[in-house]
Amino acid sequence: MKTRITKLFGIQHPIIQGGMHYVGFAELAAAVSNAGGLGIITGLTQKTPKDLDKEIKRCKDMTDKPVGVNLTFLPTVSSPDYPGYIKAIIDNGITIVETAGRNPAPYLPYLKEAGVKVIHKCTSVRHAVKAENIGCDAVSVDGFECGGHPGEDDIPNMVLLPRAAEELTIPFVASGGMADARSLVAALALGADGINMGTRFIATKEAPVHENVKQAILHAGETDTRLVMRPLRNTERVLNNAAAQKLLEKEASLGSRLKFEDIIEEVAGVYPRIMQQGDMESGVWSCGMVAGLVHDIPTCKELLDRIMAEAKQIIENRLTAML
């Protein structure tokens, strides 16, 4: 299957693994890339640029296929060493970067000068258009269904994707609710050039997370996520658990008086305990509605091969037969 995304990134299948905190390590990125997709190392999971340098080198020992790095620009006073992270990316010959969070414009010249292709994550059409205007090569359009931060507009992909197709000239992939061949074919029909999967890739054999995390996704339904931090306009979709319920109770009781400090116990520094130690009630963690479509824990190759084979069947047998 050839799309603008496969051509842009030099990959076999139009499937990208999203950058996920304490999930996007070398093992998973290499497995996805070796399976024909685009694996992504999560930059800020590595505590320093030196750590990222080591992680990229470790990944390159596992694959000779294209691999990207996610770099999330955080709205914080004490900013991470972004120039250092970018230097590690460029020095290691990484040619694809997935940016997220704040506007990446201040850092684009360094990346573009080094020949790096940039795909920016957007939760609205206006942000996607802005990303195109500042020089991003592609965008990931994230619908309301997605795990993590879906923005504040609450537009699902059945509307968001065709609207993006109407406004953009650069390639874009669909993110949020993407899990299988049906997701891929639907995304292509709505104008996307591929899909980005996050939650689905956590439930794979190579994902370097605790088995409790994979089992939680496997046994979750499409109604088992919650939206937290809405009063702070920092909405996050997380899997429902005791920590999520406690956080929502605080939001309800404090209302407009809610401050980040009130919920720090549930959200700050919890990912190592959850993802690596399997302490599933210690905090909230990002998970998409697509958990309801996850019914097994395959290898990345098994997953991608299945998606592509079934997509071909849907297009050739089901859709063509309707004409």
Domains of the chain: 4-204 (3.20.20.70)
Q: What is the pLDDT of residues 12-68, one digit of tens each?
A: 999 999 999 999 999 999 999 999 999 999 999 999 999 999 999 999 999 999 999
Cα–Cα dist 283/28, whole Å: 23
Cα–Cα dist 149/145, whole Å: 10
**pLDDT value at residue 91:** 98
**pLDDT value at residue 77:** 61
Cα–Cα dist 202/197, whole Å: 9
Low-confidence stretches of the chain (pLDDT beneath 50): none
Q: Which amino acid belongs to residue 32?
A: V
Q: Which amino acid belongs to residue 307?
A: I
Q: Which amino acid belongs to residue 50?
A: K
**pLDDT value at residue 75:** 74
Do residues 40 and 140 lie in contact, with contact meaning Cβ atoms separated by under 8 Å? no
Residue reference for tokens 């999203």: 18
**pLDDT value at residue 78:** 74
Bridging pattern class, strands 236-239 and 225-228: antiparallel
**pLDDT value at residue 279:** 97
Cα–Cα dist 122/32, whole Å: 22
